[in-house]
Amino acid sequence: AQSVTQLGSHVSVSEGALVLLRCNYSSSVPPYLFWYVQYPNQGLQLLLKYTSAATLVKGINGFEAEFKKSETSFHLTKPSAHMSDAAEYFCAVTPPSGNTPLVFGKGTRLSVIA
């Protein structure tokens, strides 16, 4: 079975500081990996995805993530946090074949301090 672990249920950064949200996966086959963002009282929006092409993936809103097989990690980063980045972030995993539903991590709440 596949799973993801998000380290840190809550991360707080200052405006303009580096954002680093951690995600480690467990999978018996090379997986597809995703990061979603959820703003308060809204649905989930896809930030970026890794689907076995380039290991460094760029997404929307200045976010990027790097797939590291040796570390089984897919950490999300952004060089400079904005107040508008405050939200809940979810890492998710699925095998590359078929339409197996995503398995989500427990989420990391990002707070941005002015």
Q: Is 86 in the site for another protein (CB under 8 A)?
A: no
Stretch that binds another protein, among 10-18, 19-27, 61-69, 91-99 (CB under 8 A): 91-99
Please tell me the distance from the alpha carbon of residue 61 to that of residue 73, in angstroms, as a whole number.
21
Strand partners, 7: 22
Q: Which stretch binds another protein (CB under 8 A): 17-25, 63-71, 78-86, 90-98?
A: 90-98
Q: How far is the CB of 83 from another protein (least distance, A)?
A: 21
Nearer to another protein, 81 or 87 (CB): 87
Six-digit token pair at 37? 């963002």
Radius of gyration for the chain, computed over Cα atoms and rounded to the nearest angstrom: 13
Q: Does 45 bind another protein (CB under 8 A)?
A: yes
**HSE-up of residue 99 (Cα within 13 Å, Cβ side):** 0
Q: Report the residue number, 41 or 84, with the smaller CB distance to another protein.
A: 41
* ∠ CA 107-48-51, rounded to 5°: 110
